[in-house]
A and B are shown apart, each in its own frame.
Chain A
Amino acid sequence: MKLLKPSWVNHNGKPIFSVDIHPDGTKFATGGQGEDSGKVVIWNMAPVLREEDEKNENIPKLLCQMDNHLACVNCVRWSNNGLYLASGGDDKLVMVWKRAAFIGPSTVFGSSSKLANVEQWRCVMILRNHTGDVMDVAWSPHDVWLASCSVDNTIAIWNARKFPEIVMTLKGHTGLVKGLTWDPVGKYIASQADDHSLKVWRTMDWQLETNITKPFSECGGTTHVLRLSWSPDGQYLVSAHAMNNSGPTAQIIERDGWKTNMDFVGHRKAVTVVKFNPKIFKKKQKNGSTPKPSCPYCCCAVGSKDRSLSVWLTSLKRPLVVIHDLFDKSIMDITWTLNGLGLLVCSMDGTVAFLDFSQDELGDPLNEEEKNAIHQNIYGKSLAITMGSQLSSTIIENPEMLKYQQEQQRNQNPNGAQASGPENQTPKLTNVLNGESLEDIRKNLLKKQVETRTADGRRRITPLCICLNVSFSYPGTSHQRCSTLIPQISSDSSTANSLGLRPSHDPTSTSPNKTAEDNKDSGTAAVNSIGMKSNLLLTSASKIEPMKALDSRFTERSKATPGVTSVPLTIGITPLDRVKDSSSVKEPKGKDETSSDSEDKIVVKSMTKRKGEMEGAEVVEKRKKGRPRKDAKIMPISQPFPQVTFLLSTDVSTDGVTYLEVENEVSVVSGSRLSQLKWSREGREWDTLLPSRIIIATGSSDVVAVACEDRTLSVFTACGRRLIPSIMLPAPMSALHCSGHFVMALTASATLSVWDVQKQTALVKNESLNPILSGTDATVSQSFLTRQGVAVVSLSNGKTYCFNSSLETWNLIADKQDSLVQCADFRNCVSSQDALGSMGPLALTQGRNLSAGRLASRLSSMPHHLQQGMTLAFLEKQLASALILLSASEYRHWLLIYARFLVNEGYELRLRELCQDLLGPVHKSSSSSWETTVLGLRKRDLLTEVLPVIGQNLRFQRLFTEYQDQLELLRLK
């Protein structure tokens, strides 16, 4: 455990009464006494968590300061969705704050600009009902209600979706009500008051469920607050100040029968605040010990007037830690971070303390699903389900959301799309009035503004409304849409335009055609890729007859020729001598190659085609065309030559036919035999001579690589200039690939090398294939190099690996036997436009995984949650594989499928994490290693693509709005 007292978190020495960490963990709020008013301050969390951020002056510590409360603020609480902050104070008011998304950092008008507010939080609602100081406020689960309690002895339940509507005022306490807590299941709310009682109220009818008085009978009203807390599993309610044998305690009340048999003992003065950790924990499994099912437990922090803090685990009889003399005065409030490992405590002495625990100390937190499972077990319903049942009554909260919903409906019935003309989509532009920009308006404001005379002759000016604000009426359900432009900021009409007018992305009418085309394309790709895999051919050959002959002959011959088999293996693994590279797999975008050999002369032909335009039939035809030439040159394969392989991968962007011709023993000069390499493309040709017999030749649009019998490797430019002196290989070449300016060599001694011949660097240096080959009798069935220079090796056992040069590891990217592939069912997440994106090295290695899930649908007996988990695991694997293969288009493809799946299945946390990663930090932080791009795709652009997907599910509209706003904000920056 680490302890920190950030001295910069203060209210200039005035007491801090309340502290609360924002659900996203990036900021926290404090409430207390200001100079001559109440004060709410929002602080940046990063400088608390990291020392370097604390020292970095560019990282703001204070984000926003709000002096609007007239008197001391007793409580600040973030809503569960993080959009709102509620504060209650001695001015009898509850204020609800919302971030004004479209205003950047600015000073308050008239302040001497010493501290600019980095974030702008606006009071969107004032809730007036209490006739005395408000002591505590609490948001119900899912932010349906907001409760506030007061020294007027009442508790007000506000409708958080329709402020300032009061659902109910709970009356019954006969003393100052000083603490509130909601049951995490949403069935109860509990309150503790100075009247020596703790009351539990039902949310169903807002009637008293139970009144607990015994443990409190000896209590005096000596504490400022009585912040009680409910455990995250809902089983226990722990009170603030209670007495047991005239000693101060925190009373534990069991949900089952409201029994009061246990308490937390040890504090020397009254307990002011109890706060349960939001996580449920289970014991950390030690290495080596047999895993035994341990009971999940909760963690609870207790703060007292005796200035000490204790942290308890319900699995232990004694406190985990007790910290004495943490403050000079009573502890007033405690808040945990959402991950359950951090804890902020504030005190009447005006300071806060941060405690940082490790998982070793607290245990392993259960994830949301496990937590839901516990709720399900105990209450027969999980919170997630509760959430779902409320959806029917969910209202759309903002116009952007509404737009997406409507757009989606239009897409579903294209006829409707025509009916709804463009006028439907023309929202009110906020800072352009009658075609004038704000600048123009300002110039002529004096002339244009409407001035009238009242009956008594006084001047009356009608102010020009530059932004109608609808957001104030319902903070719970509204969204500040107007672009709040301060006149000083020169207005840019385009910003508002982009907010409102966004043409629908794809005209629906074209999609059917497109789909058909896409399907065709993907089909072609599949045929192509499979056709080229000699090993796979056995299983899929029937579909591609013309290829069969070609490929089977290749395989046969490579068996027949002694070739590489005769080379002694230094490592002693046999598999590689069976390397069958006789047919190669190319870039997915569509090309093919044919090869033939003769006694002395070999011709490799390659026909490139533009991607996406070729069709299956065409491929076959061209191949057929190519064959006669080659057949004519074919000679009996009786020569004891080593296996000769030719590969030619040409860049997709070039069109036309490229020939690479090899003629071994073209002439004999003073006893040594020369080999000739001829290259021709679109009429341009060159040739060069090599002193040794050529065994493999391959090329790309940039380079041509040739491996010779004497274990040398030569690399030429596309114009025939030698790039580097011959590379001496440790063993004879087994497979050679070129892609762009990358050259990949697989030697007979089972090592892999990849060079960037342009930069003249080695990406992979003689890396052994041992790790992937050992323990199996698999052979290398296929290998290729992606355009980004990632080497991919497939084995005959159906596993495909790529070598990651930064991790220096072999990574499994595809496994035909993987049950996840067979059971993952994400078909309903694949949209018709996705087919194109799925082409790439990953698709190539995995074959047609659009067929995935077929098995799953047959295994209908599989429980849904199991399949859900498998699909999730599979999709995440795909995403990671695409990332490691540096395949941008596939990454995007799988990201969208993944997002759709998360949306469909309601994985909110993962979705949030995904969005957060794509959005990155809104504030600069030196410690953040966030990259703005992934595989050359801008993350925020990806988020822009993902958001509409999220917008399709109303359940995530808050998430949608939150990120939409932040994106918009970042764009304005």
Chain B
Amino acid sequence: MAKVQVLNVAVLDNPSPFGNPFQFEVTFECMEDLPEDLEWKIIYVGSAESEEYDQTLDSVLVGPVPAGRHMFVFQADAPNTGLIPESDAVGVTVVLITCTYRGQEFIRIGYYVNNEYMDTELRENPPLKPDYGQLQRNILASNPRVTRFHINWEGCAEKMEDSENVDPAPNAMLPPSCTPGKAPPLGLVPDNSMDCL
């Protein structure tokens, strides 16, 4: 059983202009004192088509973590627009928050993100080259998709090496590919699923 349980993630500053930093207030509970830090990451999925456009916006260490209940705000800069395929800039995509302990990812929280022009004119006739200054980012905060993984909390070196370089499970959080404006097809991802490593 996981030593760390995420109790809540509050999405701050939402909706906001595309260029604003992401802010997540994370509350978690820890069963016992953790000798090592937790590593949190925010990953922005640039394109639904391919993982190669995934951007790790930031990664922080969180510690020390004694047993108890804790909270912190995780802030990360907006994605580098240069790395986002132009065709995918507008529309629905995904932002992921992951947490790893001793190099093993044990939780992955995904949010659907809708990037839309504020201006109706632009919305109806989007420019070929996205105008990021006019885009608004809206994170669907009410519907987080949480995937939990079982890890070895006691830690083991070789395993750590392995999992460090393993890509996240591809089916853990599928970014939906759909046209802008349509509701994302929810329910593709099993809620609360548990996979054993």
Chain A interface residues (CB < 8 Å from chain B):
36-37, 67-70, 93, 95, 108-112, 123, 126, 442, 445-446, 449, 454, 458-470, 472-473, 482, 484, 486-488
Contacts and interface: CB of A to CB of B under 8 A. Distances in A.
Contacts of A470: 67
Given A123-B1, A460-B37, A70 B150 contact: yes
A466 B65 CA distance: 12
B59 interface: yes
Contacts of A112: 143, 191
Interface stretch (B3-11, B44-52, B85-93, B116-124): B3-11
Contacts of A486: 7-8, 27
A643 to B, nearest CB: 78
Given A459-B58, A460-B62, A111 B67 contact: no
B188 interface: no
B53 interface: no
Nearest to B192: A111
B31 interface: yes
A732 to B, nearest CB: 77
A461 B76 CA distance: 13
B159 interface: no
Given A110-B145, A446-B23, A488-B8, A465 B70 contact: yes
Given A486-B7, A487-B27, A488-B8, A463 B71 contact: yes
Contacts of B1: 68-70, 93, 95, 123, 126
A470 B30 CA distance: 11
B59 A465 contact: no
A109 B63 contact: no
Interface in B66-116: 66-75, 109
Given A445-B73, A460-B37, A482 B68 contact: yes
B7 A109 contact: yes
B61 A109 contact: no
Nearest to B1: A68
B32 interface: yes
A36 B193 contact: yes
Nearest to A103: B7
Nearest to B107: A110
Given A93-B1, A112-B191, A461 B62 contact: yes
B25 A472 contact: no
A465 B66 contact: yes
B108 to A, nearest CB: 10
A461 B72 contact: yes
Given A68-B1, A123-B1, A446-B23, A110 B191 contact: yes
B69 A449 contact: no
B60 A445 contact: no
B9 A109 contact: yes
A108 B145 CA distance: 12
Given A67-B194, A446-B23, A465 B69 contact: yes
B10 A459 contact: no
Contacts of B61: 454, 458-461
B45 to A, nearest CB: 18
Contacts of A108: 192
B54 interface: no
B64 interface: yes
B193 A110 contact: no
Contacts of B70: 463-466
Contact of B69 (A70, A109, A462, A482): A482
A44 B59 CA distance: 44
Contacts, number: 120
B37 A466 contact: no
A826 to B, nearest CB: 46
B68 A469 contact: yes
Interface string B149-190: 010000000000000000000000000000000000000000
B196 interface: yes
A446 B75 contact: yes
B9 A449 contact: no
B68 A465 contact: yes
B24 to A, nearest CB: 10
Contacts of B195: 36
Contact of A487 (B25, B30, B58, B68): B25
B187 to A, nearest CB: 9
Given A123-B31, A462-B72, A486-B8, 11 more contacts: A109-B7, A110-B146, A459-B58, A460-B60, A464-B70, A464-B71, A472-B32, A472-B67, A473-B67, A484-B29, A488-B10
A617 B163 CA distance: 91
Contacts of A69: 1
Residue among A445, A461, A462, A466 with most chain B CB within 10 A = A461
B19 interface: no
Nearest to A447: B73
5 cross-chain pairs, A with B, having the tightest CB-CB distances, nearest first = A110-B146, A463-B70, A469-B68, A467-B69, A460-B61
Nearest to A468: B68
Contact of B72 (A464, A473, A484): A464
A751 B192 CA distance: 74
A439 to B, nearest CB: 13
16 contacts: A69-B1, A109-B7, A109-B8, A111-B146, A112-B143, A445-B71, A446-B75, A449-B72, A460-B61, A460-B62, A461-B72, A469-B68, A470-B67, A472-B67, A482-B68, A487-B27
A475 to B, nearest CB: 11
Given A466-B71, A488-B8, A459 B60 contact: yes
A524 B192 CA distance: 71
A442 B9 contact: no
B21 to A, nearest CB: 10
Contact of A469 (B6, B29, B145): B29
Contact of B67 (A445, A449, A469): A469
B130 interface: no
B144 interface: yes
Contacts of B73: 445-446, 449
Contacts of B66: 465, 468
A462 B73 CA distance: 10
Given A93-B1, A461-B60, A488-B8, A110 B69 contact: no
A483 B62 CA distance: 23
A904 B10 CA distance: 51
Contacts of A466: 27, 68-71
A67 B68 CA distance: 21
Contacts of B32: 472-473
A464 B28 CA distance: 10
Contacts of B58: 459
B82 to A, nearest CB: 23
Contacts of B37: 460
A468 B67 contact: yes
Contacts of A111: 146, 191-192
A111 B142 CA distance: 11
Contacts of A473: 32, 67
A181 B16 CA distance: 62
A70 B195 CA distance: 9
A605 B196 CA distance: 90
Contacts of A465: 66, 68-70
A117 to B, nearest CB: 13
A307 to B, nearest CB: 32
A543 B78 CA distance: 94
A610 B99 CA distance: 71
